[in-house]
Structure formats: C-alpha cells, structure tokens
A = this chain, B = another copy of it.
Amino acid sequence: MEPRLPRGMRDILPDQMMLRRYVIRTFERIFEAYGFEPLHTPALELRETLMGKYGPDAEKLIYDAQHREGKEALSLRYDLSVPLARVVAMYPHLPKPFKRYQIAPVWRAERPQKGRYREFYQCDADIVGTTSMAADAEIVALIDEALTRLGFRNFVILINDRKLLAGLGRFSGVPEPLLGQLYRAIDKFDRLGMEGVQEEMRRYGIPEEVIRRMAGLLAIQGEGREVLQALAREMAAAEIPEAMEGLRELEALLGFLDQMGVSPQHYRISFTMVRGLEYYTGPIFETVVTEPKIGSITGGGRYDGLVGLFAKQSVPMTGTSFGIERIIDVIEELGMAPAGLRRTPVEVLVTVFDEERMGAAIATARALRQAGLNTMLYLEPRRLEAQLRYAHHKGIPFVVFVGPDEAARGMITARAMDTGEQRTLPVAEAARWIRSALGGSNGG
C-alpha cells in the first residue's frame, strides 16, 4: 500500500515545528497577559450544533463523522466560535465576563491550494457576557499588540459595524430581503472597486436610485471620528435606529481605543469591510497587511445572537480569529522569526565512537541532560562523519565526542557546529560552555 495523505491535508515535520511553536506560544502569552484563559472543546460536535450558523456556502464544507454503531449525527468543527457559543449556553454559571482563547485545528473541505489546507489551526480570543464597547476595544488592542509583538509593522485593523451597515442599507432604501446580497456585493469592494460593487448590486436587483445613494455613503472617507461625523451628517434627517446605534457603538469604541493607547496608525473605520459570516451583529474587525501585500490576517467582531440559538437567554460576545497559518507562513517567508530560533529543540548530539565506548557516551548524555541541555544520544556506533552529517542536517548546534583519548582523561570534546570551535573539557565545564554559547531560549 502506498503511504499517502488525504487530499488537502499535511504533516508538519520537526524542522517546521519550532517556528510554529514560537508563534503559538507568543499568542498564548499575549492572550494571557490580557486576561484570556484557555479552553478545550472536542473536535467532534453534534451536527445540529453546527448547522444553520454559517450560511449555506460554508456548510457545504463541513465534514461529517460516524462510527459503526453511532446513533448521533456528528461533524468536525468548522470554527471555534460556534463551539464557544455552545459552551456558554451549556454552562450558564460560568462567571462573566468569560474571556477565553483557543488555538486548535478546524476542518473545512475547501478546494486545496498553495498554503491552504483542509485541516488548519484557528487562533481565537473572545469576550463573553458584556455589551460594553470596552470589550470590542480590548479585542482591537489585543490584535494590535499580538501583531506588533510578532514583528508586523504595516498593518491596519479595519473597523465597521453590522448595525451601521444595516442602517445604511435601510437609509438608501435597500429592501430588507436583499440586505444579505447588499453585504455580499460590498464584500467584493477590495477586488472590484466601487464600480464593480455597483455592478454587483445591479445583478442582485437593487434599484438604481438605491445604488447611487448607497455608493455615496460608502465613498465617505476620513480619519478617526471625522468619518463617523460625516456619515452622521449625511443621514441626519432620517431617523434610522440601527444606523444611530452603530454610530454610537463605533464612537464609544474609538474612545476606548484612545484610552488603551492603540496607535491611530493601526486602525481605520472602513464602511466597505463586511466580513463573510452571517452571525455578526455589531462592530466587526479585519486586519490587512499593507506592505508587503499579504491580505487579511485577522477577522472577527461582535455576535450577540449566537448563544441565543442554544439557550433561552442570549449572551453578548465579541472576539477575533487570527489567521495563524497565514501568519506562520509570512513570518517564515519574510524571515521575521527571532534570531536565536533553531530548527530543532536538540542542543547537543553525543556521538558514539565505537561499541566499547557506548557506556561512556551514555554516561556523557546523562550528565549533559542533568546539566539542563537537550541531549540526543546517537544510540549506535557509526562512522563519525555520518554522525556529524546527521547533526548538520538536523541543525543541532553542538556535537560531543567521547573517544578513547577523552575517556582516558575523564574529558569530553564539544564542537560548535556553526564555527567549528572545539573544546576538550570535563563534562560539567563543557555543559557550561555550551549553555552560554546557546544563549536564551529556543522559542519555548
């Protein structure tokens, strides 16, 4: 039988894991610095838990699962937000605000393409149980800090509001049943520009007069609060409650962002940013990296209605998902990883000179390990060149030899693989030399 992976799936071999771990641990640290706690939910959910939340296009991509005698219809989770809503509904006594993060795989049967897989990690932070715009602002501050800490510089967190969008639609005269189509048209702004969006609206059957009004509103631009004030002036005469509420939300959000010290360079109100998922109800966020052009790397927003699908009482929620797979790829491609990050957690390879010296090699490996070094023993005698090639190939920074000469003198020889520098020392001193040469941590 030929060893194969399912279509769209991948292995992550050890030399790719260190960078991945560095990124994941960085997120964990920042989430926890902001008071978010880890949560685990199972990969399999009841099919009914997932269905009816994402919209029909998304639901086509969900994997179903079954065991031979199973009576329940199960599915692999499609994201981490719906499982969170299920958790919040199931455990009503969880103290609120409930701030949780989860970094875990999800499964979507999308058409595989370069850098896109059918199993991929999502990296989510959400705040449950408060309608305060301070929560939404904290999500934006968190995005800002996480991306900055990971080395991103030229990014903008786009901010919009679903209530405001609905209000704009109503103000322009978009018929209620076409609101979904309106969003879908606006969502294409980046690719098609304003002309293209208007063309799309036409295709969806939105009247010409309405399209013109809508385009006028979407074209309003400006810095910070200005753009909100301009929009408010434009709609002043019409009393559209959703629009007013959306504007109030964004005003409050901007106020908190000031207090939280988020750089105004790092966010912008954008009336043309829509987000695909159906469940958003308030402010929405999306981060685009402008230079180099790598597109969107976070997405999220407020979704106050989701828990209500599972429980009598609704519970407000807001949060963001980081496109962690994309972020890992970009950090690798652009060389943004910290300088000391190696390809392997192994710090020393203890070579085996010959059968007779196996005991000495074992004792040396033990001693180095006890001195706190991640130590690999080669496990069998082989030509030294082969053992050195192995260390080189794997990126192990130090190699240790315990030959007859060294053994006779109670010493070992340690070699730095990068510089070739070599020292013959008692094992404890060799360990100290290696430790100091290695410096700080390795992404752990």
Chain A residues packing against B (C-beta within 8 Å): 1-7, 9-14, 17, 20-21, 32-35, 37-46, 48-49, 60-70, 72, 74, 76, 86-87, 89-91, 94-95, 97, 99-100, 105, 107, 109, 118-119, 127, 130, 132, 134-135, 138, 256, 259-261, 309-311, 344-346, 349, 358-359, 362-363, 366, 369, 373-380, 390, 393-394
Contact = CB atoms under 8 A, between A and B. Distances in A.
A65 B67 contact: no
A294 to B, nearest CB: 23
A369 B33 contact: yes
A100 B309 CA distance: 43
A417 to B, nearest CB: 14
Contact of A11 (B87, B95, B256): B87
A102 to B, nearest CB: 10
A256 to B, nearest CB: 7
This protein's copies in its complex: 2
A131 B13 CA distance: 23
Given A362-B256, A363-B259, A64 B67 contact: yes
Contact of A109 (B63, B69, B380): B69
A17 B39 contact: yes
Nearest to A35: B376
Contacts of A138: 377, 379
A43 B358 CA distance: 39
Given A68-B109, A362-B256, A379-B138, A374 B63 contact: no
Contacts of A89: 3
